[in-house]
Structure 1
Amino acid sequence: MTDHARHLDAHYDAPGARSGQSLTMRLRAAFREAGCDPDHLTLDEVAGIDQLHLGGRRASRSLAALGGLAPGSRVLDVGCGTGGASRLLAAEFGGEVIGLDITAAFVDVAGWLSRATGLDDRTRFLCADAAHTPLADGTFDVVWCQHALMNMPDIAAVLAEWHRLLVPGGTVLLHEVVAGDAPSPLCLPVPWARRVETSHLRSRHALEALLAEGGYAPVVVQDVTESALAWRRKHSRREGDGTPPGPALPGPALIFGDVFAEMGRNLRDNLAADRVRIIEGVFRASRPSSDF
């Protein structure tokens, strides 16, 4: 395991390291306590733990619609986490999806949740570094990535790998956290990092420049910060700002630990202060600029 993978494991599965129980075991027990059969779950029941990005399922639907995702598309979901976007793309858009994540605990949960929701025939999951995958050239029509690049120190290598994996003219559908314009430092912890050394935010300009250098032409790119902030404010109230809790289904605190409410508040405040922004976009793969 690389240092990068160890840092991400320590961040995304901190409660597991302390308790000695796997994330899958903890979540299965939580579903049983909520009165659910952990081997037979609905997409609504798992919604609280299966899309660990701003906007939840609504944001994933928006990105898929923006990219015109067609039934039968072969999709690589990079940084898939617990697999929620992979399952949504399979169930609602007819995609054939492989989810990829460097965090083994997430990949284990993703496979279990797909089996439990009856979507294991159209989704499968792989534990690997996004910059170095064991997948064949030209395997995918679409690379899908939501809130993952800010965890990747070498984006150029990741973009080169995507180019190898995509068919000619394939597309990248991206929903990403980027650095804002405020000069003040990021309030930590946030959902993707507890320390500044493990946060790899880039500005929108810098990210788009890297995409262009990597051979990706923008089709449409839009700033969705305001809607993301409204969503985060609503969820911060639910997580500890005075709103009574909803049904006792598992939520992200079981993954991140008790610090998750603070992470959510910090993310809300970072968005409001323009320390971070959120973009969604569609990019088409061409030749890298170095080949021109």
Structure 2
Amino acid sequence: MRKAGKPLDQLTLPDLAPVDHYHARGFQATVELADRLTIGPDDHILDIGCGLGGPARYFAIRFGCKVSGIDITPPFVDAARKLTALLHLESQVEIAQGDGQHLPYAGGVFDGALTQHVTMNVADRPGFFREAYRILKPGAFFALTEHGMGPNANPHYPAPWSLDGGGSFLATPSESRVFLDAVGFRDIVVENTGEKYLAAYKQGMALAASGAMPALGIHMLAGERGAEKMRNAARNIEEGRTQPVQVICRKPA
């Protein structure tokens, strides 16, 4: 942050946006998802797999709502809490450590839930969706973004969600729709976002090739093989091996 000229005692939401939305397409994808949702200041939203907490903090500031975030990775939870404190958002944003397949919340308490690029690593997808359904109030929304399995399957690795295919559990968009419907979700809208993600990956590849990557960005978290992951992610989309999608549905009222 200091290298980017951002004093820690004067941080703003835009200062952190390049790095704290740790999913494909970063901050822009979070904004586009939020644009599709209706959220009021009295609502309580859950971010499942919240990472560094960027989306949770963005939703809290944009809608004036309360947001709970949960992530299975302790270092992410620690960082998310510290960043939330630096932005003085502790009264609106609460971050907890836990498993999205076994959510530590009572049933029917949230007005909406989202999960961004988490389900690719979830072995029991129906169980994950059942937990999301359980904690939602009647009429609440559930929104997710993910890399779905494409018609040609067999993705190239390493990819952003797996180094060698281990822990990768992709489902086709149609399979995800079937799982959501079986759990009880309705008004399921699946949007193909492949072209947007391909353009973003190519832009990142061009910046990396020119040595113009910014001081702050999610590339900081991608590891030594980050560039290779990005190239394979683009290639997978181009070759029909993966299919990025955005899905929004509702628990019946």
SS at match of 2:143: strand
The equivalent of 1:27 in structure 2 is none
The equivalent of 2:163 in structure 1 is 194
SS at match of 2:27: helix
Q: Choose which of 203, 206, 226 in structure 1 pairs with 2:195.
A: 226
* 1:167 and 2:137 matched: yes
Q: Residue by residue, what CA displacement relative to the aligned partner does 1:94-116 show, whole Å, maximum 9, x if unpaired?
A: 22100111111111111111111
Instruction: Answer whether contact 2:60 2:92 (CA < 8 A) is retained.
Output: yes
SS at match of 1:231: helix
**Which residues of structure 1 form unaligned runs of 5+?**
1-30, 288-292
Q: Please state how far the C-alpha of 1:197 moved relative to its aligned partner.
A: 2.2
Q: Residue by residue, what CA displacement relative to the aligned partner does 1:244-290 show, whole Å, maximum 9, x if unpaired?
A: 233x23x3343232211211111111112121111112111139xxx
Identical positions, percent: 32
Instruction: Answer whether contact 2:18 2:27 (CA < 8 A) is retained.
Output: no
Q: Please state how far the C-alpha of 1:243 moved relative to its aligned partner.
A: 5.0
* 1:274 and 2:243 matched: no
Cα distance in 2 for residues equivalent to 1:40 and 1:196: 41
C-alpha RMSD over aligned residues: 1.8
Cα distance in 1 for residues equivalent to 2:206 and 2:94: 35
Alignment of 1:59-70 (within 5 A): 59-70=29-40
SS at match of 1:241: helix
Alignment of 1:1-292 (within 5 A): 31-183=1-153, 185-238=154-207, 240-242=208-210, 244-246=212-214, 248-249=215-216, 251-286=217-252
Q: Quick one: structure 1 residues 190 and 85, their matched pair in 2 at CA, closer, same or farther if it must change by over 3 Å? A: same
Q: Please state how far the C-alpha of 1:39 moved relative to its aligned partner.
A: 4.5
Cα distance in 2 for residues equivalent to 1:211 and 1:39: 43
Q: Quick one: structure 1 residues 196 and 245, their matched pair in 2 at CA, closer, same or farther if it must change by over 3 Å? A: closer
Q: Please state how far the C-alpha of 1:138 moved relative to its aligned partner.
A: 1.4
Size of the aligned set, in residue pairs, is 253
**Which residues of structure 2 form unaligned runs of 5+?**
none
Q: Residue by residue, what CA displacement relative to the aligned partner does 1:4-63 show, whole Å, maximum 9, x if unpaired?
A: xxxxxxxxxxxxxxxxxxxxxxxxxxx234443335422222222211222222211211
Instruction: Answer whether contact 2:25 2:197 (CA < 8 A) is retained.
Output: yes
The equivalent of 1:18 in structure 2 is none
The equivalent of 1:17 in structure 2 is none
Instruction: Answer whether contact 1:63 1:281 (CA < 8 A) is retained.
Output: no
Cα distance in 2 for residues equivalent to 1:168 and 1:206: 24
Instruction: Answer whether contact 1:218 1:281 (CA < 8 A) is retained.
Output: no
Q: Please state how far the C-alpha of 1:64 moved relative to its aligned partner.
A: 1.6
Q: Please state how far the C-alpha of 1:220 moved relative to its aligned partner.
A: 2.5
Cα distance in 1 for residues equivalent to 2:213 and 2:119: 32
